[in-house]
Amino acid sequence: MSTHISLHRQASAVLLMALATAAVLATPAHGAAPLSGKVAPVIEQFLVRQTAGLPGKVSISLSTPRSGELPPCETAEPFLPSGARLWGKVSVGVRCNSGPPWIRYVQAYIAVQGSYYVAARAIDAGQALAPGDTEMREGDLTLLPHSVVVDPAQLNGVIASNRIASGMPIRRELLREVFLLRQGQTVKVLTQGAGYMVSGEGKAMTHAAVGALVQVKMQSGQVLSGIVRPDGSVERSN
């Protein structure tokens, strides 16, 4: 019975969280009325251009300032205050350069709907991540930690530096790379050209993971740079 109640509470919590997220996406910033008037589309177009490179589907809502709707303006110029970040709640400045000049600030909410990764099961500290340890979820990335993993390539060749509970978003600071090479380790260096391949041996000058650039001191004393291959050898870079 207690297990059934616990599962019911967990399901209720998930449902409430989903409803809260939907409410945030549907409600203008600070719960104010949506901005209308001729200046609103100008601000929206400005924010659409500014958010073009964000990793997901962007939706924008604008709130009417407490002082009321913006005055009419033929040449409204939106701008971002210094240090403003186009993520979640943000204040957008509007400068009017026609008629009586004015500057007002509008609160916007920028939601970014995209994919991110969570722990499919509890992951212990020091455990190397396998494909079945994570799963993809969809949600508003602005409601999650900024360091949440959105690129599956960031899960390759890493181990957990801390314990990650089941269902928790996976953050980059909770992971560290698995070093395939250690400083001072003897490694094979491959030099490839048109129709030939030459190999030699040297010692890695730093720790390095698969795909990383590492310097190798050859037996002759020459220092070469190359990319660490999955088999532990180093392919010399041009």
Of the residues 148, 177, 206, the one at which a domain ends: 177
Q: Does residue 25 contact residue 59 with C-beta atoms inside 8 Å?
A: yes
Domain containing 221 equals 179-236
Q: Look at residues 97, 112, 127 and tell me which one is the last residue of a structural domain.
A: 112
97 with 129, same domain: the answer is no
Q: For residue 183, what is the domain's CATH number?
A: 2.30.30.760
**Strand partners for 223:** 217
Res 20: pLDDT: 39
* Per-residue confidence (pLDDT) for residue 105, from 0 to 100: 93
- How large is the greatest C-alpha to C-alpha distance in the chain, in angstroms? 76
Residue type, 32: A
pTM given for the model: 0.60
User: What's the pLDDT tens digit per position in 178-234?
Assistant: 777 888 999 999 988 777 888 899 999 988 877 788 999 998 999 999 998 878 899
Q: Which residue among 177, 201, 223 closes a domain?
A: 177
Question: CA–CA separation, 134 vs 160, rounded Å?
Answer: 12
Whether 94 contacts 105, CB under 8 Å: yes
Q: What is the CATH number of the domain that holds 154?
A: 3.90.1210.10
Do 21 and 107 reside in the same domain of the chain? yes
Side chain identity, residue 82: S
Is there a single domain that holds both residue 76 and residue 88?
yes
* For the ranges 25-29, 37-41, 214-218, the one whose mean pLDDT is highest: 214-218
